[in-house]
A and B are shown apart, each in its own frame.
Chain A
Amino acid sequence: MSSVRRSIGSRLVLERSDFPRLLEGLGIRGYVTVGPVVRDGAIVYGPISRVEDLPIGWTDRQEAGTYRLERRDDGALFGYTVGPHSWKKYLFPAHERLWTAERSPEGFHILPRSEPEPRYAFLGVRACELAAIRIQDRVFDGAFKDPGYHQRRSEAFRIAVQCTQAGNTCFCASMGTGPRVEADHDLALTEILTGSAHYFLVDVGSERGAELATDLPLRPATEADIRAVDDLLEKTTASMGRTMNAVGLRDLLLGRPEHSRWTDVGKRCLTCTNCTLACPTCFCSTTEEVPDLDADRVERWRRWDSCFTLGFTHQGRTSVRTSASSRYRQWLTHKLASWHDQFGTSGCVGCGRCITWCPVGIDITEEVAALRKEEPVAVSAGGTR
C-alpha cells in the first residue's frame, strides 16, 4: 500500500470497509468532523464521530415546499442531495459574539476574542456548496477580512462528495457550479455501489488531502473506476430536476423592474425569510448590543438577517421596501443580477434550497422563466414599493 503515490491529482480507491479510517485520520489531526446526519425528518449537518452517524441507506425526495426522507435499498453513505442546512452555519454562524466591552475608570475597553475557533473537517461537501463557500469568501475573506470567518475558513478541511444523483429542485448544471467537484477540495469522494462492490474513488485536491491520504489503505484507480465516476456524473447532470436559463440574466432582470410577475410573486411570498436563511450564499446580518443591567459590560452580537424583513431597510422612520413584491424583487435581482457587479459572479449556485424550503413552494427557476416572458406594455407607472 505504501508504494501508492498520494499527491495532488492522485486518483485512488478507498473500500467502504476502510471508510472509518478516514474519520480516525481526521480525529488524530485534531479536526472536529461535521457532516450529514439524520435529524427531525431531514438530513442536516452535525457532529460525526463514527461512520454510523452518517445517513446510511437514506435518501431524500424534494419538491417545491416539500422534503421527505426515504429509505434506499442499499447501504449508500451519501445517497441524497443537499438538505436545509449549509456549511455557512459553521463559517458564518447564525449568532456570533463579535466583541465584549467593559466599563473602566478610564472609560471602557474592548476585550479581545478569547474563544479559540474550532478546526472543522467538513465531510460531504457538494460541488454547489464549494461554489457557495467561494462566493461567501468574497464577502468575508476578500478585501475585507472577517477575522472569525477567515480563521474558520482557512482551517476547515474539506472532504467533498460527488453527487451521484440530482434532486428534484437541483439546477447546479444550469449555474455552472456542479455536479462535478473540480476545485477547493482537500479530498473528493465518489461513492460507487455496483453489485456487491462498495467503494470510493478518492481525488486528492491539496497537500493536506495528500497528507491525510497517507493514513489510508488505498489502491490506484483503474480506467474502469474512472469511467464509472464519469458515467455517474453524466447521469446526475441529465437528471437535474430544474433548469434555469442564466444567459444574459443580469441585464434582463435589471431591465424589468415593473414586470407584472413581481406583483404576482408578491401575493404568494410570505416574507418569512426562509429562502434567504436556507441559502448558502446569503450573507446579510444585523448586529445588536447586549448590555448587562448595569451597562458595565456589553457584548456585540451578530445574527443572520434577511432582506425580507421590514427592519432590514428601515431608514429614518420607515422601511424603504414595504411590499412583499419589492422585497422579493430586491432579493432576486441582487442574487442573480447586481451580485455580478458587486462580486463578479452570480449569487446563485443552483442548490435548490430556496425552492424546497419555501413554505409555499415559490420556485426561483419558475419566477425567472416568467420574468423572461416579455410583456406588451408597461404595467404600472406607480412603481413597486
Chain B
Amino acid sequence: MPGKARPKVGVWKFASCDGCQLTLLDCEDALLELSERIEIANFREATSTVTEGPYDISIVEGSLTTPEDAGRIREIRGASRVLVTIGACATAGGIQALRNFGDVEEFRRAVYARPEYISTLATSTAIQEHVTVDLELRGCPIDKGQLLEVISALLHGRSPNLPTESVCAECKRRGNVCVMVAQGTPCLGPVTQSGCGAICPSYHRGCYGCFGPQESPNTVSLGHRLETLGMKADDRLRVYRTFAAASPAFRAASEDAERKLRKP
C-alpha cells in the first residue's frame, strides 16, 4: 500500500526438494513487481543476504523430520506475524512420510554405513502438527497462481481465494471429459483438493492426489468404484501413499486398502 513499508518476507526450508520455493522464483514477470512490493529478508535459495526477524510473512516449505527442526519451526513461528505453509511436505508430511508406515530404525541400519551419525525422528509430519499455521498452499509442487494470490491477499489485507472443493470442479469448468466415466481410468480427483487447474486429467491421466484430500473426501465410496474399475487393493494402497500419505483421509484410505490386502 502507498506509504507503507514493504513487508518483510522469510522463506524457510525443512525436509523437502526445494521445488515449491522454486515456484516463487518461477513467477517470472510477476517476480520483478513482487520484489518492489516485498522485502526478501531470508530466502537462501535466492540470496545469501539475510535480515534478522521479526518477519511479516514466513513462507515455510518442507516437513518436520529431525529433532532440531522441531525447535527451529517454533523459533520461526515466534518471529513471524503470518505463517504460510507451501507444498505437500509442509501441509501433509510429503513423500518422506512413507517412513510413518515403516521402521525408521531398520532403514537407518540398512542404508547408512555409520547409522549413529543420523539423527532423525520416526515420523515426517506436517508443520501444522507443531505450530499454528495461518494459510496453507497444497500441491507437489504448489501452483504459481495460488502463491501470487496469497501474497497479493496478504499485501492488501484481504482473504485469499483458495477453494477447497474437489479437482472435479476444475475439470468440469475446463470442459474436460471425465477420464473415469469416459475411459474407466482410476482418478483421485473426486477426493482431492482443487488448485492445480486439473492438470493431470487435462492430459488424459487420472489425478494422483498431490494436493491432498478435499474438504469432505469420501474415500470409501471412491474405493468401491476404483475396485469395480479393476484397481486392486495393493494399487489402491499405493495410490494413496504418495505425496499426501500422512494426511488423515488418505492415510485412512491406504490403511483400509492394506487391511483388504491382508484379508481378501
Q: Is the CB of A291 within 8 A of B152?
A: yes
Interface membership of chain A positions 150-194, coded 1 if the CB is closer than 8 angstroms to chain B and 0 otherwise: 000000000000000000000000000000000000000000000
Check A39/B177 contact, CB under 8 A, given A273-B168, A277-B169: yes
Interface membership of chain A positions 23-41, coded 1 if the CB is closer than 8 angstroms to chain B and 0 otherwise: 0000000000000000111
Q: Is the CB of A360 within 8 A of B172?
A: no
Check A269/B173 contact, CB under 8 A, given A311-B163, A311-B164, A359-B178: no
Q: In chain A between 60 and 81, which residues have their CB closer than 8 angstroms to a CB of chain B? A: 65-69
Q: Is the CB of A66 within 8 A of B181?
A: yes
The answer for the CA separation of A295 and B2 in the assembled complex, in Å, is 11
The answer for the CA separation of A270 and B219 in the assembled complex, in Å, is 8
**Of all chain B residues, which has the CB nearest A322?**
B216
B34, B180, B204: the one within 8 Å of A293 (CB): B34
Chain B residues contacting A44 (CB-CB under 8 Å) are 175, 177
A268 at the A/B interface (Cβ < 8 Å)?
A: yes
B33 at the A/B interface (Cβ < 8 Å)?
A: yes
**Of all chain B residues, which has the CB nearest A42?**
B177
B119 at the A/B interface (Cβ < 8 Å)?
A: no
Q: In chain B between 180 and 216, which residues have their CB closer than 8 angstroms to a CB of chain A? A: 180-184, 187, 189-191, 204, 214-216
Q: Is the CB of B168 within 8 A of A359?
A: yes
A241 to chain B, nearest CB (A): 16
The answer for the CA separation of A288 and B152 in the assembled complex, in Å, is 14
A85 at the A/B interface (Cβ < 8 Å)?
A: yes
Residue among B155, B178, B189 with max Cβ neighbours from chain A (10 Å):
B178
A310 at the A/B interface (Cβ < 8 Å)?
A: yes
B214 to chain A, nearest CB (A): 8
A66, A270, A273: the one within 8 Å of B218 (CB): A270
The answer for the CA separation of A288 and B221 in the assembled complex, in Å, is 32
Chain A residues contacting B184 (CB-CB under 8 Å) are 66
**Of all chain A residues, which has the CB nearest B192?**
A272
B229 to chain A, nearest CB (A): 10
Check A304/B222 contact, CB under 8 A, given A39-B177, A359-B190: no
**Of all chain A residues, which has the CB nearest B1?**
A295
Q: Is the CB of B204 within 8 A of A40?
A: yes
B46 at the A/B interface (Cβ < 8 Å)?
A: no
Chain A residues contacting B132 (CB-CB under 8 Å) are none
Interface membership of chain A positions 216-250, coded 1 if the CB is closer than 8 angstroms to chain B and 0 otherwise: 00000000000000000000000000000000000
Check A271/B216 contact, CB under 8 A, given A41-B182, A41-B183, A306-B169: yes
A107 to chain B, nearest CB (A): 14
Q: Is the CB of A84 within 8 A of B216?
A: no
A side interface size, CB within 8 A: 46
A274 at the A/B interface (Cβ < 8 Å)?
A: yes
Q: In chain A between 239 and 283, which residues have their CB closer than 8 angstroms to a CB of chain B? A: 267-274, 277-278
A213 at the A/B interface (Cβ < 8 Å)?
A: no
Chain B residues contacting A359 (CB-CB under 8 Å) are 168, 178, 180-181, 187, 189-190, 222, 225
Q: Is the CB of B181 within 8 A of A67?
A: yes
Q: Is the CB of A293 within 8 A of B183?
A: no
B161 at the A/B interface (Cβ < 8 Å)?
A: yes
B165 at the A/B interface (Cβ < 8 Å)?
A: yes
**Of all chain B residues, which has the CB nearest A60?**
B182
Residue among A39, A267, A274, A357 with max Cβ neighbours from chain B (10 Å):
A274
The answer for the CA separation of A293 and B220 in the assembled complex, in Å, is 42
The answer for the CA separation of A185 and B220 in the assembled complex, in Å, is 45
Interface membership of chain A positions 99-134, coded 1 if the CB is closer than 8 angstroms to chain B and 0 otherwise: 000000000000000000000000000000000000
A89 to chain B, nearest CB (A): 6
B166 at the A/B interface (Cβ < 8 Å)?
A: yes
B176 at the A/B interface (Cβ < 8 Å)?
A: yes
Q: Is the CB of B177 within 8 A of A68?
A: no
A94 at the A/B interface (Cβ < 8 Å)?
A: yes
Interface membership of chain B positions 70-108, coded 1 if the CB is closer than 8 angstroms to chain A and 0 otherwise: 000000000000000000000000000000000000000
Chain A residues contacting B180 (CB-CB under 8 Å) are 65, 359
Check A304/B172 contact, CB under 8 A, given A269-B221, A270-B221, A272-B189: yes
Q: Is the CB of A311 within 8 A of B152?
A: no
Residues of A at the B interface (CB closer than 8 Å) are: 39-42, 44, 65-69, 84-85, 89, 94-95, 267-274, 277-278, 288-295, 303-304, 306, 309-311, 322, 324, 356-357, 359-361
Residues of B at the A interface (CB closer than 8 Å) are: 1, 30, 33-34, 37, 148, 151-152, 155-156, 158, 161, 163-166, 168-169, 172-178, 180-184, 187, 189-191, 204, 214-216, 218, 220-222, 224-225
Q: Could you list 29 examples of A-B contacts with CB < 8 Å?
A: A40-B182, A42-B177, A42-B182, A44-B175, A66-B181, A67-B181, A94-B174, A268-B221, A270-B166, A272-B166, A272-B189, A272-B191, A274-B172, A274-B178, A278-B172, A291-B152, A293-B37, A293-B151, A293-B152, A294-B37, A295-B155, A306-B169, A310-B216, A311-B164, A311-B165, A324-B218, A356-B181, A360-B224, A361-B225
